[in-house]
Structure 1
Amino acid sequence: MKRFDGGSLIPGANWHLQAESEAEVVRKVIERMRTEHGETDIRPDMVERIKERIVDVSDNGTRH
């Protein structure tokens, strides 16, 4: 399981997203950034910064 914490990239954001794969987490983060944070242009460097902040978590949500 993979997890992204919004606050790791967006100051003040307290949401997180989880999915089975890194690609699915990236897709969900981009969707959220567009709908809730008004981002209209997601550049390749932004995708890389998202990927750098994705962590592995166990099924109960703890990082490892």
Structure 2
Amino acid sequence: MKRFDCGTLVPGCPWHTSAEDEAEVVRRSVEHLRTTHGETTIRESMIDNIKARIKDEEKA
């Protein structure tokens, strides 16, 4: 599983998402940035910043 914590990009945001593959994590993260943080333009650099912060989630 892959995990992205929005707070690593937007300080103070508690939102996070997990999915089997990186592409789904990025898709969900972009949607979150649009709906919650009001981002209207998602630049390639923003996608790169999301990807750089995706971590492998520890199995419980």
Corresponding letter in the other structure for 1:20 = E
Aligned position for 2:45: 45
Q: Which has the higher contact order (CA 8 A, sep 6+)?
A: 2
- Deviation of 1:49 after TM superposition, in Å, equals 0.3
Q: Which runs of 4+ in 1 moved over 4 A?
A: none
Where does the alignment leave 5 or more consecutive residues of structure 1 unmatched?
A: none
**Percentage identity across paired residues of the two chains:** 57
Corresponding letter in the other structure for 1:39 = E
Where does the alignment leave 5 or more consecutive residues of structure 2 unmatched?
A: none
Please give the TM-score of this superposition, normalised by the length of structure 2.
0.94
Please give the TM-score of this superposition, normalised by the length of structure 1.
0.89
Return the structure number with greater helix share.
2
